[in-house]
């Protein structure tokens, strides 16, 4: 029996559930299909559980900082088993609450895998304005609607010779399920995922080695941010290896063995493979050829579903969040899902505009950025300048005994284009930084802003008012 809806959403992560909520509140009969758990990777095995881990080790980091000045003494120990139980209770409860909220709004949630009809994501022959979706799983069904939103997210990437085996070589989801803290850990990948797990386990006493094939940690950031991060991490006892390509990573004799292309090897009790993420497009009949298939969809070179300026992937089909490969962040998925829902309701007409996307890496040492890097400004041909302020000059950073790092402003053709920071607590600066970048201010107009004293926010002002240094394309 075919069930008819005004909209069908495949994927119950931040993008899909936000779209479902707005559409239901707008009076549209909405179906949401999710094959694993509501809340997606973010809630269940990503953003949220990792923050529970990092929050538990934060007091120990503060203690160590103050101990260097002789102002505090003692020790903090983490009950890992209790932490795991608390994390699981919160995640499970939040997912259940999300389901109840959607149900209260009238959203019909199907447990299973949503796939296009045999004829693909196109009009059904007998009903030209309807797109058919098959649900395979606990709630098999055939659904039809004039519009479908693909919000299927992404999964941990792997490559030949670099794949989790569930023994000593793990992906991030597997690592979150450990029942004991390893004595040593290899982290392959120096991006956000690798950095956050490295931070937690280092605080738990694990000997951590980060391996990044690119020349720097945090490859998407400017080199000065990455270098400062490296200095802080190495001073904290982590080993950082950059610019070395990994040839293989396997479990041998119960331990993780990493082999570099130069033949050298490293061995640890466990290894985390954190080399990026890939869009969940299995079953959609897409290929990386760049040509549309029977489903009407095609992939870009990185594996994301190609969308137009309004996030259309095919007639009547939208793609939001990680699956379109634009920005693999939960808040980006949420933002895109909300835009598409408003567009379907007739409340949005223009193309999708994200504005300066904020991003953070959390832990004892954090990264924050909103807007462009200096590298991006130079690549675009703009006149680039930067201004910086050390956290050492900020009284709040000093009070917390964590003053390593700096805040940085990036200027393009005389206007603010981006802000970034590295150091303790700098994730708290990201929203203010985003609003400042969104304004695209010139230096003289920033004089109207009043920053509360004493706050870490004053480091933003210090960076904005610091002398600017021009940058050349080869710097």
**375, two tokens:** 């590298």
- As a whole number of angstroms, the distance between CA 229 and CA 233 comes to 6
**How many residues can be counted in the chain?**
475
Q: What is the pLDDT along the chain (475 residues), one digit of tens a residue?
A: 789 999 999 999 999 999 999 999 999 999 999 999 999 999 999 999 999 999 999 999 999 999 999 999 999 999 999 999 999 999 999 999 999 999 999 999 999 999 887 556 666 655 655 777 888 877 788 999 999 999 999 999 998 889 999 999 999 999 999 999 999 999 999 999 999 999 999 999 999 999 999 999 999 999 999 999 999 999 999 999 999 999 999 999 999 999 999 999 999 999 999 999 999 998 887 766 555 666 678 898 889 999 999 999 998 999 999 999 999 999 999 999 999 999 999 999 999 999 999 999 999 999 999 999 999 999 999 899 999 999 999 999 999 999 999 999 999 999 999 999 999 999 999 999 999 999 988 888 888 889 999 999 999 999 999 999 988 776 5
- As a whole number of angstroms, the distance between CA 147 and CA 29 comes to 11
**377, two tokens:** 């400004």
Tell me the whole-structure pTM to 2 decimals: 0.94
SS3 letters across 137-193:
CCCCEEEEECCEEECCCEEECCECCECCCCCCEECHHHHHCCCCCCCEEEEECCCHH
Rg (CA), the chain: 24
Packed helices 330-344 and 14-25: angle between N→C axes, nearest 10 degrees: 30
- As a whole number of angstroms, the distance between CA 150 and CA 337 comes to 10
- As a whole number of angstroms, the distance between CA 195 and CA 199 comes to 6
- As a whole number of angstroms, the distance between CA 110 and CA 378 comes to 48
Our measurement of the distance from residue 434's CA atom to the centroid of its chain's CA atoms, rounded to an integer in Å, reads: 17
Contact yes or no for 40/178 (Cβ under 8 A): no
Q: Which of 4, 155, 424, 453 is catalytic?
A: 453
**327, two tokens:** 């920005």
Residue 127 has a pLDDT of 63
**24, two tokens:** 């239901």
- As a whole number of angstroms, the distance between CA 325 and CA 299 comes to 9
Strand, coil or helix: what is 412?
A: strand
**224, two tokens:** 């000065």
Tell which residue, 440, 454, 457, 436, has the closest CA to residue 389: 457
453 belongs to the catalytic site? yes
- As a whole number of angstroms, the distance between CA 68 and CA 59 comes to 15
What is the rounded (10 degree) CA torsion for 300, 273, 211, 239?
150
Tell which residue, 130, 57, 40, has the closest CA to residue 91: 40
Q: What is the DSSP track for 278-292? A: EE--TTS---TTSS-
Q: Tell me: cis bond preceding 454? Omega within 30 of 0 counts.
A: yes
Tell which residue, 218, 50, 30, has the closest CA to residue 107: 30
């Amino acid at each position: 029996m075919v069930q008819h809806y005004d909209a069908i959403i495949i994927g119950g992560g931040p993008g899909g559930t936000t779209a479902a909520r707005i559409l239901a509140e707008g009076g549209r009969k909405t179906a949401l299909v999710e094959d694993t758990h509501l809340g997606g990777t973010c809630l269940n095995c990503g953003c949220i559980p990792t923050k529970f881990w990092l929050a538990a080790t934060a007091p120990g980091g503060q203690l160590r900082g103050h101990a260097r000045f002789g102002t505090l003494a003692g020790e903090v120990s983490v009950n890992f088993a209790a932490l795991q139980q608390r994390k699981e209770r919160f995640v499970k409860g939040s997912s259940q609450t999300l389901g109840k909220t959607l149900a209260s709004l009238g959203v019909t949630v199907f447990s299973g895998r949503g796939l296009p009809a045999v004829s693909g994501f196109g009009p059904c022959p007998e009903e030209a304005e309807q797109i058919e979706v098959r649900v395979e799983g606990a709630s098999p069904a055939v659904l039809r609607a004039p519009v479908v939103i693909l919000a299927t997210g992404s999964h941990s990437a792997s490559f030949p010779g670099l794949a989790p085996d569930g023994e000593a070589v793990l992906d991030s989801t597997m690592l979150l399920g450990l029942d004991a803290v390893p004595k040593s850990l290899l982290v392959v990948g120096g991006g956000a995922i690798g950095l956050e797990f490295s931070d937690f386990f280092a605080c738990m006493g694990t000997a951590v080695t980060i391996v990044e094939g690119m020349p720097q940690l945090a490859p998407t950031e400017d080199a000065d941010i990455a270098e400062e991060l490296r200095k802080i991490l190495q001073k904290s006892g982590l080993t950082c290896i950059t610019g070395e390509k990994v040839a293989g990573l396997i479990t041998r004799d119960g331990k993780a063995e990493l082999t570099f292309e130069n033949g050298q090897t490293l061995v640890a009790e466990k290894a985390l493979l954190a080399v990026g993420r890939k869009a969940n497009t299995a079953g959609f009949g897409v290929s990386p050829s760049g040509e549309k298939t029977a489903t009407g969809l095609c992939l870009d070179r990185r594996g994301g579903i190609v969308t137009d300026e309004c996030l259309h992937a095919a007639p009547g089909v939208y793609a939001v969040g990680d699956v379109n490969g634009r920005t693999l962040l939960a808040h980006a998925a949420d933002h895109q899902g909300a835009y598409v829902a408003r567009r379907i309701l007739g409340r949005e007409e223009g193309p999708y505009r994200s504005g300066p996307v904020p991003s953070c890496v959390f832990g004892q040492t954090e990264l924050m950025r909103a807007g462009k890097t200096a590298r991006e400004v130079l690549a675009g041909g703009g006149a680039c300048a930067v201004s910086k302020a050390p956290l050492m000059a900020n009284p709040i950073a000093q009070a917390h005994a964590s003053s390593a790092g700096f805040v940085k402003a990036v200027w393009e053709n005389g206007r603010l284009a981006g802000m970034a920071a590295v150091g303790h607590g700098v994730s708290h600066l990201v929203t203010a930084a985003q609003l400042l970048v969104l304004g695209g201010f010139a230096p003289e107009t920033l004089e109207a802003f009043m920053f509360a004293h004493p706050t870490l926010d004053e480091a933003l002002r210090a960076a904005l008012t610091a002398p600017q240094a021009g940058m050349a394309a080869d710097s």
